[in-house]
Amino acid sequence: MHIHFLDPYRSGSSPVHAADARLKFVLTLAFILTASLTPPGAWPVYILLFALILSVEILSGLGVGYVLKRSLLALPFVLAALPLPFTVEGRTLFSLPLGGWMLTASLEGLARFVSVALKSWLSVQAAVVLAACTPFPDLLMAMRAIRIPRLLTAMFGLTWRYLFVLADEALRLMRARAARSGAETGAAPSASLRAGGSVAWRARVAGGMAGSLFLRAFERSDRIYAAMLSRGYDGEVRALPPPTFTAAHWLTLTLGLTLLALLLGFGLLFWG
């Protein structure tokens, strides 16, 4: 059973795939920072940022639909900003009676809500492109290259790798359940669980599996960490020396940072 679905990296031969991981990491962080600091209501800047990330998506060969579908991850963050139209003072847009309360939405609050939604959406798109075009070990190397603390980088690396341990243990439990359920050959893994037992019984089975999954994953992760220590692991991410950061890389980095700084300055100047 394969757990490759956890890995967002998609191999390719596009210029974005071939670019240095350090360059992509710094420009992605700069893009997210620019989107975050852009004042609410700076619609021309948001349009330009979207055009910029859309150009990168096309250049990467990932497909605009692929990136946009994965960028729906921003929706929960948008829901967190839902009260903004009713809490920011400004020109009244509409009023909504709710029991003994009267909720009044303002135009300024709505603009701020839409701005937060656009910022989250654009930032997630940039992160999706980075993860899909850069192998995870290269991302760790890029983090250490720009002097992100060793402990923080190690936490990122171990968290990512233990996701696969957890998924592997979950697949083992599902396979064991299917082997003991008497389901027909070729049936879906959940078919046997639906076959018999009340909802309460199935809930107890699912709870027991979740507890067993936690214990098995914890014990396995402990064994893995002990094996890592016995092989000399000290928290440092080690790899072959990174390639030289050429003049073309520096030029691309300078142009990218300059463009983002101009967009941010334009937004702060007219909407700040």
Q: What is the pLDDT along the chain (272 residues), one digit of tens a residue?
A: 445 556 788 888 999 999 999 999 999 999 999 999 999 999 999 999 999 999 999 999 998 999 999 898 878 878 888 888 888 888 888 888 877 788 888 888 999 999 999 999 999 999 999 999 999 989 999 998 888 988 888 888 888 888 887 888 788 888 887 777 655 444 554 454 445 557 787 778 778 888 888 888 788 888 888 998 898 888 776 777 888 999 999 999 999 999 999 999 999 998 87
Task: Indicate the DSSP class of residue 98.
Answer: E
**Gap between the Cα atoms of 41 and 52, Å rounded:** 18
Q: Which of 221, 223, 236 is nearest to 140 (CA)?
A: 236
Q: Which two tokens stand for residue 9?
A: 């990296």
What is the distance between the terminal CA atoms of the chain, rounded to a whole angstrom? 53
Q: Which two tokens stand for residue 108?
A: 């300024």
In sequence order, the β-bridge partners of residue 183 are: none
**Gap between the Cα atoms of 15 and 12, Å rounded:** 9
**Gap between the Cα atoms of 234 and 229, Å rounded:** 7
pLDDT of 184? 47
The secondary structure of 210-236, three-state, reads: HHHHHHHHHHHHHHHHHHHHHCCCCCC
Q: Are 140 and 130 in contact (CB under 8 A)?
A: no
Identity at 216, one-letter amino acid code: R
CA distance to 50, 61, 96, 104, 253, per residue, from 20 (Å): 23, 17, 52, 50, 11
pLDDT of 97? 81
Q: Are 158 and 237 in contact (CB under 8 A)?
A: no
166-194 burial code (b ≥16 CB/10 A, e <16): bbbbbeebbeebbeeeebeeeeeeeebbe
Q: Are 105 and 93 in contact (CB under 8 A)?
A: yes
Sign of CA dihedral 191, 196, 199, 201: negative
**Gap between the Cα atoms of 66 and 197, Å rounded:** 40
pLDDT of 78? 84
Angle, in degrees to the nearest 10, between helices 21-37 and 247-271: 0
Q: Which of 248, 237, 93, 87 is nearest to 160 (CA)?
A: 237
∠ Cα 114 267 71 (to 5°) = 40
Q: Which of 60, 50, 51, 58 is nearest to 24 (CA)?
A: 60
Count of Cβ atoms closer than 10 Å to residue 28 Cβ: 22
In sequence order, the β-bridge partners of residue 103 are: 96
Q: Per-domain residue ranges for the chain?
A: 4-148+240-271, 150-230
